Amino acid sequence: MADADRERRVGENEALFRDINERVNVALKPHAVWRSVSEWVCECPDEGCAEPIAMTPEEYEDLRANATHFAVFPDDKHVRADVESVVEKHERYWVVEKRGEAAEIAEERDIR
């Protein structure tokens, strides 16, 4: 039961950070900064994470094409191997893909 609760909490935390980034994305779209590197919120499950990640809105759109993909700071401590896998490594950010219940929550909470 504790594992299921942890997976749910991880999924909820990451979905919350993704919601913040969605608002940033909406704000940037109409402006000329669409292709400029901007500061985004790390979407890792750590509620206390304050690591910024640098991405263009276009890069963010690409990863958001999949509801189970999230952007995290490029460091292993931002990856929860029990619920996600790194699917892309970029210099400024990594893309992780959720599995199991965390993936289900990501799909349920996906506002797109």
Q: What is the domain extent for residue 44?
A: 2-109
Element spanning 86, H or E = strand 84-89
**Which residue in the block uniquely carries the two structure tokens 């499950």?**
45
Q: What percent of the chain has pLDDT over 90?
A: 39
Q: Give the pTM.
A: 0.72
Q: What is the pLDDT of residues 41-69, one digit of tens each?
A: 999 988 888 899 999 888 988 998 999 99
User: What distance in Å separates the CA atoms of residue 91 and residue 69, rounded to the nearest whole number?
Assistant: 17
**Which residue in the block uniquely carries the two structure tokens 């797109």?**
112
pLDDT tier, 33 (very low <50, low <70, confident <90, very high otherwise): low
Alpha helices (H) in the chain, listed in sequence order: 2-28, 57-64, 100-109
pLDDT for the residue numbered 88: 97
Task: Domain count for the chain, please give it.
Answer: 1
